A and B are shown apart, each in its own frame.
Chain A
Amino acid sequence: MFRTRFVWLGIGFLAAMAVFLGSLLAAAKPYQYHGSVIEPAAPAPEISLVDQHGSPFTLENQHGRLVLLFFGYTSCPDVCPATMVQFKQIRKAIGDQASNVQFVLITVDPEQDTPEQVRTYLKGIDPSLIGLTGSRPDLEAIWNEYGVFVEKNGALVNHTARIYLIDPEGKLRLTYSFGTPNEDLVSDVRQVLKQAGL
């Protein structure tokens, strides 16, 4: 009787130890980002353009907030509206933390995308998203800095469909290819905000 009780006690102790060690190992495992990680995090090239309301926008003024950045244009038939809707969904998914995140679209078609055009476009998706435009030379300098391919093809523009994550310190931390699932982006955004103490 005493022996059986002793054996059960031993099994219980071993099971408790296994659970404890397992939770320790799980906690020690570093977070794995879903996007492509840039190491060391590079200072994001400065952006100084005009938003959809005609107000000046600089990246420097966004310090303290995470920025999700995408290059596209308002008459884009596929990837741009899909990405803007994705931004809207991510904004909704992160809830209260949305105030710490800025969702930004930079045009690759400055001739068509005037501030008014960008405002009308974003109003139909989510007016809280920021749409930036400017002169072609100013934009070309930014496209080059961010490695964005832009090629006018009639009424359409072939362009890079990458999302950039700039952390609250203004550093480029991650990039995502088109089609990255919302939950992956939401998870990474939350992790970067957590690291920044937000």
Chain B
Amino acid sequence: MSIPVRIGLAFLIGIVLSLVISEGSYLLLRDRNDRGPQRIELVIPAGTSEKVDAGEITSAIPESLTFVQGDTLVLINQDATSHQLGAIWVPPGARGTLVLDEVSQMSFACTFRPDRYIGIDVRPAVTWETRLKAVLMIGLPTGALLAAYSFVFVSDRKKSPSGSNHNGQG
């Protein structure tokens, strides 16, 4: 086998192995936030202000929200007063849209939670580019190691017939 073919084959095996390992572990271990950017809508139902003022917990709004970088958060205000969630402010009957383009983990002022705060976690998005990077980061060094190993292995095999003569003299 020629040297370029051997190197090419080693890298191909490395990439295929890393593809199986990386994608396999991703598919096995991923949770619902390991995804690409999406449009996420959050509805503030009519009567929310009264419930919040009375200290009632509105079931529609969770204590914290997790997004991925690049998500578009849409706040739909069906209430009779304006509402705020961090940087988003929405007059009654309107919707506020914000692209979450920075990774962060913070508490924000929130007018539709009884404690007036909400935790927002923006994680890095897992896109096909991220997954491709992972495959290449494992695959290329593995391919290089396999190529190097193949040279050592082949040169050892070429040397081994003369080496066997010494074993017989012990």
User: Are A and B subunits of one complex?
Assistant: yes
Tell me the B52-109 residues at the A interface (CB within 8 Å): 81-84, 86-91, 93-99
Bound-state Cα–Cα, A162 to B96, Å:
14
Residue from B81, B97, B111 with most neighbouring chain A CB atoms (10 Å): B97
Interface residue total, chain B, C-beta cutoff 8 A: 18
Chain A interface size range: 10 to 19
Bound-state Cα–Cα, A32 to B99, Å:
9
Contact A175 B94 (CB under 8 A): no
Bound-state Cα–Cα, A174 to B22, Å:
42
Minimum CB–CB distance from A174 to chain B (whole Å) comes to: 9
How many residue pairs at the A-B interface have CB separations less than 8 Å? 45
User: Within 8 Å CB of B87, what residues of A?
Assistant: 35-36, 162, 175-177
User: Within 8 Å CB of A35, what residues of B?
Assistant: 87, 98
Contact B84 A147 (CB under 8 A): yes
* A39 contacts B by Cβ under 8 Å: yes
Bound-state Cα–Cα, A142 to B35, Å:
42
Contact A162 B89 (CB under 8 A): yes
* A125 contacts B by Cβ under 8 Å: no
* A37 contacts B by Cβ under 8 Å: yes
Contact A38 B84 (CB under 8 A): no
For A164, the closest partner residue in chain B by CB is: B89
* A95 contacts B by Cβ under 8 Å: no
Minimum CB–CB distance from A46 to chain B (whole Å) comes to: 14
User: Within 8 Å CB of A42, what residues of B?
Assistant: 91, 93-94
Interface residues of A (CB under 8 A from B): 32, 35-40, 42, 146-147, 160, 162, 172, 175-177
Closest 9 CB pairs of A and B: A147-B82, A177-B87, A36-B98, A36-B88, A37-B97, A175-B89, A42-B91, A39-B95, A36-B96
Interface residues of B (CB under 8 A from A): 81-84, 86-91, 93-99, 111
